[in-house]
Structure 1
């Protein structure tokens, strides 16, 4: 599992890797330091419009690869390099966190084929929810898309982590917003009720939502900043779409927990230890800085974004951008580059536009040049072996989630909020 029981991230691959085997400090100028940073003027930087088009082509091919006779599709999350080139296996699982991002990225552009593909994934998420062995509204961390190809549910990551549920919920609320089709709102409400029933903690301060459940039903008693940020965004959207104030009240509980995790120097800690109350201070992850800002829109997290710029930006050859956490800042985490660029775009302080564009330019260079790339999709990291500080390594393999975050950042579309136009 990715990290300790204190904070397994939704992007975790370690548990599924085991299952698959069984079954078969410096700030870079232009991003962190200069308030007057300009977008890259490197003549070799790929054209942004073409880059976006190619990234969508990558997602199209992944979505279309694994679909059942009913038109439900689940794209594999990773391909190439470590996840494909081992001699005995090809790692194909589809992580619901990545699937949710792809859905939202498609709705951001909103072409007819985009909405069709977004619905194909959304319908697959409803299918695995409806056909779960427990059947109480949950989804699992990941599924085998070959199972969907055959019209069945094959679970590869059996944990029911709270953040995963919230991302599935945000994908479904976005689909309801885009299409008006009631089944998506119904599925989102089932997801939200699972979160509320199984993870709400109004006993141990700071109040909030715990980590979810393991396969055997064991509850994870820690609370995650990341998960509570997800819930704040998801429940706020649900309140808006359903008209039920209770979801806004519950979103406020999650947002208050996130606020309680902010430290004196502005950064936001990862969450709590196993007791649900004591703050877990190491490592300090990027998403606790960026997602707090994106999910709440609260200016207090401007300081957290600035902390990330000052402490988490890495340089790896021609690539510059944030790492996963302060445990290892030797390589660029392109997924994180996407949500940091988006946070900067939406914050809009002096120099933020230039910083965001510098991050996007570096992603585009990676799209074109990074090891194991295909010229279209975005790899997870600039080079292999980025240590998350949470118990596993990340690799330079093509990743649907990183590609979707790039597209959302390029469009200025916040997945934690519904579009206003």
Structure 2
């Protein structure tokens, strides 16, 4: 399979370089999505139990390949085989801890120990880094080459995802892994998790810190260990959360200084004239004005809880709102169903619906719902608590629960059928992010974990 044919990279692999047209506001789009949710018997606790069952299945897919394991990120139909993204596994840890159950805690500890194993058994580096993704089970790649190992290779090293080129290290992925480990340290009292989180923070400080005019922390390194020139608003928002937790857990005020540095970059990306945050910078000097992503609007609220920036949620809820129905061009939604939420970015609303997202992939639907981002928004609205926020959050969560019940049937993990109605698909229909990759209607641990965080009112960026 050539590079252009491979499924899209993690959304953290690339950063883009205005403003997209507005979609219908959520208040206008709500009634259609509610129809799917109303037909679902899986609302509330039952929907959450089914979501946790999917996370467990993704974690337990390869029982013959050792007890040290990560969760496969997407169902097999996504074409990424047994790839386990570091970011998705960090979210899965946080979602399991949010369950407040013994099983959830046990699974979170197991996944946390897998992150520590990857940190200590990298095939090349011993400096605290984690890679973008790992393999967690056997498969035959598109070119016919076998990948026979589980997460731990026969030589004892962590099985880095070289087949797809997932070998770099992004500051955002590292930050989320650090947040998961720090949360484990606080919840379990086990020192090893804090040690791992501190190693992550120290790697970011060494590799990511920049003295460029816009400041902050840069994107990370590629697979050749070359520093990437970008600086991401999303990543620096993640660091506000990580460095703040490290400051509280260690008592070391240096982490507060680092937190302030990341926060200063984030606030420099704020445009008060329109009420949103820009995506970042490619050169440390010039702010990228397009596309405008969803997560820089919602995660900033979760990390900062700043009244001065609270309008970012209104911008995302209004300007990125979508309603997906079977009548939309390139929709994957079955007849009679509809789903509301938000899309990935302003560019998603302008996608060329006549051209596939990538070679060998479907054409995009401008109205495809990005369910992970929809969960971000629901949680951020619950965190803001302005008049009407809880009602909007509940409607978004109902849309996600309806999608879990009705979308993504017949999919597998490790060749085993996924239970019907368990696990949230990445998107209601193929959508173009505007950042060089797409999301598709395959069940996904990351989307499922964010749904659970929203449903349980768990803000991972403010522990």
User: Does residue 158 of structure 2 align to residue 153 of structure 1?
Assistant: yes
Q: What SS is found at the alignment partner of 1:324?
A: coil
- Render the CA deviation track for 1:256-315: whole Å, top value 9, x for unaligned: 100000112111000012x21200111000001001111122122211111101110111
Match of 2:207 in 1: 198
Determine the C-alpha separation between the residues in 1 that align with 2:102 and 2:387.
Answer: 37
Superposition TM-score, scaled by structure 2 size:
0.80
1:28–1:315 Cα contact (<8 Å) kept:
no
Task: Give the one of 393, 412, 418 matched to 2:438.
Answer: 393
Q: Distance in 1 between matches of 2:300 and 2:29?
A: 19
Task: Please state whether the residue corresponding to 2:230 is helix, strand or coil.
Answer: strand
Deviations 1:123-152 (A, max 9, x none): 010001111111111000000012326554
Alignment pair present for 1:30 and 2:39? no
Matched, 1:219 2:227: yes
Greater Cα shift, 127-136 or 71-80: 71-80
1:183-213 deviations in Å (ceiling 9; x for gaps): 0000000000000000101x21221000001
Residues 136-151 of structure 1 mapped to structure 2, 5 A cutoff:
136-146=127-137, 147-148=150-151
Q: Equivalent residue for 1:168?
A: 177
Q: How far apart are 1:398 and its partner, in Å?
A: 0.6
Partner in structure 1 of residue 105 of structure 2 = 115
Counterpart secondary structure, 1:321: strand
Matched residue, 2:53: 57
In structure 1, the residue matched to 2:423 is 377
Find the counterpart in structure 2 of residue 327 from structure 1. 347
**Does the 8 Å CA contact 2:347/2:433 hold for their aligned counterparts?**
yes
The alignment's TM-score, normalised by the length of structure 1, stands at 0.88
Distance 2:10 2:427 in 1: 16
Alignment partner of 2:286 out of 268, 275, 278: 278
1-side partners of 2:62 and 2:295: how far apart?
30
Task: From the superposition, tell whether residues 192 and 13 of structure 1 become closer, same or farther in structure 2 (CA, over 3 Å).
Answer: closer
Residues 212 and 13 of structure 1: CA distance in aligned 2, closer, same or farther (over 3 Å): closer
Contact (CA 8 Å) 1:67, 1:74: kept in 2 or not?
Answer: no
Cα deviation, residue 71, structure 1: 3.2
Aligned residues: 389
Question: 2:385 aligns to what?
Answer: 348
> What is the rounded CA distance, in whole Å, between the counterparts of 2:109 and 2:57 in structure 1?
15
Tell me which residue corresponds to 2:94: 104
Q: Among 266, 270, 280, which residue is 1:262 paired with?
A: 270
User: For structure 1, which runs of at least 5 residues remain unmatched after alignment?
Assistant: 1-7, 15-24, 84-89
Looking at structure 1, the residues matched to 190 and 200 of structure 2 have their Cα atoms a distance apart, in angstroms, of 17
1:238 and 2:246 matched: yes
Residues 1:241 and 1:9: Cα distance change in structure 2 (over 3 Å)? farther
CA contact (8 A) 1:31 1:359 kept: no
Aligned to 1:417: 462
CA distance in 2, matches of 1:66, 1:271: 39
Q: Determine helix, strand or coil for the equivalent of 1:209.
A: coil
Query: 2:151 is paired with a residue of what secondary structure?
Result: helix
CA contact (8 A) 2:270 2:278 kept: yes
Structure-2 residue corresponding to 1:77: 73
As a proportion of its length, which structure holds more helix? 1
Distance 1:233 1:32 in 2: 32
Q: CA deviation at 1:392?
A: 1.1
Matched, 1:128 2:118: yes
Match of 1:44 among 33, 39, 51: 39
Check whether the contact 2:26–2:317 (CA below 8 A) recurs between aligned residues: no
Contact 1:40 1:357 survives alignment (8 Å)? no
CA distance in 1, matches of 2:190, 2:10: 27
CA distance in 1 between counterparts of 2:214 and 2:207 reads 17
Q: Distance in 2 between matches of 1:230 and 1:176?
A: 18
More deviation, 149-158/94-103: 149-158
Distance across 1 between alignment mates of 2:65 and 2:296: 40
Structure 2: stretches of 5+ with no match in the other structure? 1-7, 15-21, 138-149, 326-337, 350-366, 412-419
